[in-house]
Structure 1
Amino acid sequence: MDNCIARQPIIGKDGKIAAYELLYFQNSQTVDSPHDFHTAQAIVQFFNQLDESSFLDGRDAFLSFTPNLLMQNIPRVFDPHKLVIQVEDSVLVHPVARMMLQRYKKQGYRLSLSGFQFNSRYMNILSLIDILKINFDGISQKKLDTYLSVAKEFNLKLAAYHIDTPEARALAESNHFDYLQGTSVADIAQSKAQKNPKHLQSNFFRLMAAATREEPDLEEIAELIGMDVTLTFSLLKMVNSAYFAIPNRVKDIKQALTILGLGQLRQWIYLLSFGGEGDFTDEIIKISFQRAVFCQALSQEIPDFPLAYSEAYMLGMFSILDRLLDVTLEEALKSLPVSDELKNGLVKKEGMCGSLYRLTIAYEQGEWPRVTRIAQELNLSMETISRKYLEAVDYVTSTWNSLMEPFDGAAQTDENENKE
C-alpha cells in the first residue's frame, strides 16, 4: 500500500517557518477522499512509525480532515498543542459539525477555517475558530477588506494561501497577515536573498574550528561545506577560476579541497568571515540541503541515472541558486563546473535529471498525480519515494538541529591554551 506524506511550509511574520501543512496521499486518494476508512487507518499507522517531532521539526501541523475522520477521533494521534485542524466546507455541511468542532476545541486543538462564505453555516462557527485562511489567488483588496473585518470582529489570526507571486506576498504583508503559504519556502524567501548571500553562521563556526585544528579532518570539512549551498557554490567557483588554471573542471567538494590545500582553505574561510552581512533567512539554505539529500538518495534507485552520486547531490542543492543569487538558474550555473545533464535538468527540466528535479518539487508541493506520473517515468515506486523522503527529512532535521546548538569551540580552544 503506497502511503506518502509531504510538508508544505507556512511562514510566520518573521519570514521563518512557523508550521507545516501536511499533504497526505494513499493509493491515488487524498486525505479528503470520501472513501477514507483505510486512509484513516493508514494515517494512524504512519504516525505510529514516524518520529512526529522530527518530521515537523518542532513546528505546528495544519491538516484537513473529513467528517468521518473527525468522528473517528483521528486528530487525537497528534499533540493538541501542535495540531491545527483545517475546517473546510465538507465538514461544515455535516449535521453535527458544530458539536464535533466544539469537542476538539475543548481538548485544546486550534481550528482554522478555509473558504469562508457569508452564510449561516460559516457564521455559526466563527466563535470556535482561531485562524481564518484566505485564498489569495486573484483576490481584490475590496474582497479582502470584508475578510479583514470578520477577522477583527472575532479576534482571529489571518493566514494567506496561494502566495505565489511577489504581488500577492506584498498584499498579505501590507495587511499584516500572521501566516503566509505559497508554492515553496524558496519562493517566499526570495525577497530576502542577496547578491552576496550569507552562509549558515553556526555551520561556518564549526568549519572554522575544523580547518584550524592541528590535524584537520578532510572528511569533516567536506561534510560541513556540503551542508551549505553558499559555501559549496563559493568553493567550486573559486577552485575553477582562472587563478588555479585546472585543466579539468572540478565537480566534487573533496577534490576541490585537495586542490585548494590547507593554507588557501584557511585564507578562504578568513575572507568569508567578513562577508554575508544582512538579513538572509537560513530557511532557503535548509530547503536546498533537504533537496540535495533527497535527490542523492533517489538517484541510487533510478536505473542508469546519468549523474554520479556526488553530482546528484548538487542537482538538489543548486536548484535554489536563482533565488539565492537573484539571477536566472542558467546564469548562476554558468560559472560552475557541472555537467550538461545537470544544467539541462535544472534549467530546461529535460532528461532524467529534469524528471528527478520535477519529482522533488512535485513531492514538496503534494501534487500527487504529477508525482505518480514522474515516478513511472523513472521506474520508482511510491513506497521508495516516500521512504527516501522521510529518511531525508529525518537526516536533515537532526543534522540541522545539531548545527543550531550553541558552538563552544572558542571556549574549548581557550581552555586548551590555558592547559598549555
Structure 2
Amino acid sequence: MSTSLQRPDLTPSSTMAIARQPILDAKRHVFGYELFDRSLENKAYSAASDAALLFNLLSNADSEMRNTTKTIFINCTHQTLAAGHLELIEPDRMVLEIPPMPAAQSEPEDIETFLQTMISVHKRGFRLAFDESVMAEAYANWLPLASFVKADVTQVSACELKAIATALADQPGIQLVAEKIETQADFEAARLAGAKLFQGYWFARPVLVKGQTIRPAQAAIIHLINLVRKQASTNEIEEVFKHDPTLSFNLLRFINSAGFGLSCEITSFRHAVMLLGLKKLFRWAALLMTTSGAAGASPAVGHAAVVRGRLMELLAAQLLSPEECDNAFVVGIFSLLDTMLGLPLAEALESISLPQSVTDALLRRTGVLSPFLQLTLACENADDRLFAEAATALQLTGDQVNMAHLQALVWAENITA
C-alpha cells in the first residue's frame, strides 16, 4: 500500500479536522470510535460542522470507511438529521448520536415531531444512540429506536448507572456505553454497574509497577530489533525465531496481512529478508512489540500503537525520506512502549538500539520526527488549538490529516485482524 497522500486544493473542507475517541468492550478490545469535528472554525455552528463531517467521510475517505469493521459514532443535531445528505451515506457500521431536545423545544409535541424523523432514519438502517436522558418518561417513544444509550460517568453516579443498566435489561438490543472513563477504577466501577461498552483514553496510560521487569517474550523482541538494527547475518537472526516460534508466527502474520498488500505469501524469515531487505524489517520488528504487552495491559493499547505508527508514517511521507518514514512508524509504535511494557519510557528504551531521530522524538520531543508525533497525539485529544498549531507547523491541510487518519485506522484493522 502506498504511503503517499494526495495534496488537495485548499477548500472550505480543508478547515475541518477529525478527532477520534475509542470505544472499548468489556475485554478492552476496540469496538469502535467516536469521530468528531474538532476544528476551531466550526465551534460556532455545530449543525454545519456535523453535516460537513459526514460529507467529509463520504467524499474524502469513503473507500476507507467501507473497509472498516469498527463501529463509527457521529454526533448529529436534529437539524442535520433531517438534511438530505444522509441519503448519500451508507448506514453500515454508522451510529448517529442524537441529543435530547433543547429546553425551548422540550414540549411533548416537539419531542413527538422529531420522533418521525428518527423513525425514517432508523428505517434506512442507521443505528441511533442517545444519552441517559432518553430514559426519562418524556422520551419513552424514542427508547425503542435506540441501539446505544451513553451515560457520562462524571454526571451519573454508579448507583444511577446501575439503575439504567437494570432498566435496559429488558431491551436486549440496546447496549449501555459508559463515557468519560478516565481511570481503571472508573472502568471497573462502570463494568460492575452493568455497562457493556466504555469510552475514554484510560487504557493508554502507563501503569508502572514497582519491580516490573521485561518478560521473556518482550526480551526476545528487543533482541531481534537490536540484531536487525546492527545488520546482523540472516542466520544469526533466524536463530531468534527458531527459539521463539510465536515470534516467527506473529512476524509472518503481520507481513502477510492485507495491510502490507503483497502479491505472494512470505513463508519464512529468510524469504522476508530476500523480498524486503533487512533494513525494512526494522519497522516490522518494532510492530511485534504490540503483540506482547505488559501483563494486564489492555488489548486496545497495541491497536492504538499500530494506528499511531501508521498515521505518523503517512503524515511523514510527504516531507521526509523513506528511511525517516520508517523511523516515524517506529516512533508512533514506541510512543506507547511504557504502557506496553509497564516501565518508564526512558527505562524501556535503554536496552533498544534506535536511530537518534527516534529517541529524540520519544524522549525529548525534539528533532525532525517530533512535529509528526505531536500531530499524531493531537488527533486523539481534545486540545483543538494544539491540533491546529501542529498541523500548521507541518503545513498540512485538514483534508490531508483526515485522509491519513482514517487510512491508519483501517490499516491497523487489517494488520491486527
Find the aligned partners of 1:337 and 1:179 in 2 and give their Cα distance.
39
Find the aligned partners of 1:59 and 1:393 in 2 and give their Cα distance.
9
Indicate yes or no: 2:408 matched with 1:358.
no
Q: Is the 8 A contact 1:189 1:284 kept in 2?
A: no
Deviation at 1:332, TM superposition (A): 0.8
Indicate yes or no: 2:25 matched with 1:12.
yes
Indicate yes or no: 2:59 matched with 1:59.
no
Q: 2:151 aligns with which of 118, 130, 134?
A: 134
User: 1:273 corresponds to which letter in structure 2?
Assistant: P
Superposed counterparts of 1:140-151, under 5 Å: 140-151=157-168
Q: Which residue of 1 aligns with 2:91?
A: 80
Deviation at 1:41, TM superposition (A): 5.5
Indicate yes or no: 2:391 matched with 1:375.
yes
Indicate yes or no: 2:186 matched with 1:171.
no
Indicate yes or no: 2:269 matched with 1:266.
no
Residues 8/231 of structure 1: CA separation in 2 closer, same or farther (3 Å cut) = farther
User: 1:132 corresponds to which letter in structure 2?
Assistant: V
Q: Is the 8 A contact 1:110 1:130 kept in 2?
A: yes
Indicate yes or no: 2:342 matched with 1:326.
yes
Find the aligned partners of 1:169 and 1:365 in 2 and give their Cα distance.
19
Q: Which residue of 2 aligns with 1:298?
A: 315
Percent sequence identity over matched residues?
A: 18
Superposed counterparts of 1:8-407, under 5 Å: 8-25=21-38, 28-29=41-42, 33-36=45-48, 40=51, 43-44=54-55, 46-52=57-63, 54=65, 57-89=68-100, 93=105, 95=110, 96-116=113-133, 119-137=136-154, 139-152=156-169, 154-155=171-172, 156-183=174-201, 186-187=204-205, 195-196=214-215, 233-237=222-226, 239=227, 253=228, 255-256=229-230, 258-259=231-232, 261-273=233-245, 283-301=300-318, 308-338=324-354, 342-347=358-363, 349=365, 353-365=369-381, 367-398=383-414, 400=415, 404=417
Q: Is the 8 A contact 2:73 2:94 kept in 1?
A: yes
Q: Is the 8 A contact 2:151 2:177 kept in 1?
A: yes
* TM-score (norm: length of structure 1): 0.69
Q: Is the 8 A contact 1:292 1:315 kept in 2?
A: yes
Say which SS state the counterpart of residue 327 (structure 1) adopts: coil
Residues 329/154 of structure 1: CA separation in 2 closer, same or farther (3 Å cut) = same
* TM-score (norm: length of structure 2): 0.69
Find the aligned partners of 1:194 and 1:100 in 2 and give their Cα distance.
57
Higher relative contact order (CA 8 A, sep 6+): 2
Residues 349/147 of structure 1: CA separation in 2 closer, same or farther (3 Å cut) = farther
Deviation at 1:395, TM superposition (A): 4.4
Find the aligned partners of 1:297 and 1:14 in 2 and give their Cα distance.
30
Residues 159/394 of structure 1: CA separation in 2 closer, same or farther (3 Å cut) = closer
Q: Is the 8 A contact 2:61 2:403 kept in 1?
A: no
Q: Is the 8 A contact 1:198 1:280 kept in 2?
A: no
Deviation at 1:352, TM superposition (A): 5.8
Find the aligned partners of 2:207 and 2:169 in 1 and give their Cα distance.
28
Residues 104/169 of structure 1: CA separation in 2 closer, same or farther (3 Å cut) = same
Residues 197/114 of structure 1: CA separation in 2 closer, same or farther (3 Å cut) = farther
Find the aligned partners of 1:196 and 1:54 in 2 and give their Cα distance.
37
Q: Which runs of no fewer than 5 residues in structure 1 stay unpaired?
A: 200-229, 240-252, 405-420
Q: Is the 8 A contact 2:371 2:390 kept in 1?
A: yes
Which moves more between the two structures, 128-137 or 142-151?
Answer: 142-151
Deviations 1:121-163 (A, max 9, x none): 4445223323211112375323323333432355542111112
Find the aligned partners of 1:42 and 1:170 in 2 and give their Cα distance.
33
Deviation at 1:71, TM superposition (A): 0.8
Q: Is the 8 A contact 1:89 1:115 kept in 2?
A: no
Deviation at 1:56, TM superposition (A): 5.9
Residues 72/14 of structure 1: CA separation in 2 closer, same or farther (3 Å cut) = same
Deviation at 1:293, TM superposition (A): 2.4
User: 1:64 corresponds to which letter in structure 2?
Assistant: N
Deviation at 1:320, TM superposition (A): 1.2
Which moves more between the two structures, 122-131 or 38-47?
Answer: 38-47
Count of residues in correspondence between the two structures: 349
Find the aligned partners of 2:213 and 2:156 in 1 and give their Cα distance.
29
Deviation at 1:283, TM superposition (A): 4.4
User: 1:386 corresponds to which letter in structure 2?
Assistant: N
Find the aligned partners of 2:369 and 2:149 in 1 and give their Cα distance.
40
Residues 352/21 of structure 1: CA separation in 2 closer, same or farther (3 Å cut) = same
